[in-house]
Amino acid sequence: MALFEEIAPEPADTVPVRRVTISVNGERRTADIEPRLLLAHLLRQGLRLTGTHTGCDTTNCGACTVLFDGKPIKSCTMLAVQADGHEITTVEGLSGASELHPVQEAFKDCHGLQCGFCTPGMMLTAKALLDETPDPSEDDVRWALSGNLCRCTGYQNIVKSVLSAAQKLQGQSAADGS
């Protein structure tokens, strides 16, 4: 596949190429890639899903966080071939066709972002937390977000955003239940 002109593999005689099929934001994507290709680079360069960012080279910052079968992972620290057969959700898959996810709305409402660089990873970590813990305490939120660095916000409005999204989601599920 000529999917990745930027990250094309070495000539086939020197580097083996693997075919992977990954569900990304609910869509089946197939690609022939080098085994060493990082998932973050597959998403960004290959699939042009550039909302996933890279902020470090030592797995500390979490800007590359995506959901791997619903769990937050740092996509700079997973080979794309490891995602073969799995489901990946990126920030681009967070909103519906027209509606924002409550986490996205809350980040805007509570001023949970400034430069926006950590935001996609931050929101996906938050979504994963809320999927598992619908009514988190502030400590729960801070602990869950501790793998995601932010340089702009000092975290407080992010914490506020996540707590606000939790309330909104709980309101929604209560409304759905009735």
Residues binding another protein (CB under 8 A) = 5-8, 10-11, 34, 36-37, 41, 44-45, 48-58, 60-61, 63, 90-92, 94-95, 100, 104, 107-109, 111, 113-120, 123, 138, 141-143, 145-159
Minimum Å gap between C-beta 127 and another protein is 12
CB of 24 to another protein, least distance (A): 13
Q: Tell the residue number behind the tokens 């916000």, with chain if given.
A: 153
Cβ closer to another protein: 94 or 169?
94
Least separation, in Å, of the C-beta of 81 and another protein? 14
Q: Which is nearer to another protein, 85 or 137 (CB)?
A: 137
CA torsion sign, 115 to 62 to 25 to 139? Answer: negative
Q: How far apart are CA 28 and CA 84, in angstroms?
A: 11
Q: Which is nearer to another protein, 40 or 83 (CB)?
A: 40
Count CB-CB contacts under 10 A for residue 155.
17
What CA–CA distance (Å, rounded) separates 159 from 68?
A: 23
Give the residue with the Cβ less far from another protein, 70 or 100. Answer: 100
**From the CB of 60, what's the least distance to another protein, in Å?**
4
Q: Which is nearer to another protein, 85 or 167 (CB)?
A: 167
Angstrom distance (rounded) from CA 144 to CA 136: 10
Task: For tokens 């996609």, name the residue.
Answer: 120
What DSSP character marks residue 88?
A: E
Q: How far is CA 134 from CA 64, 78, 114, 140, in A?
A: 24, 28, 26, 11
Smallest separation (angstroms) from another protein to the CB of 5? 8
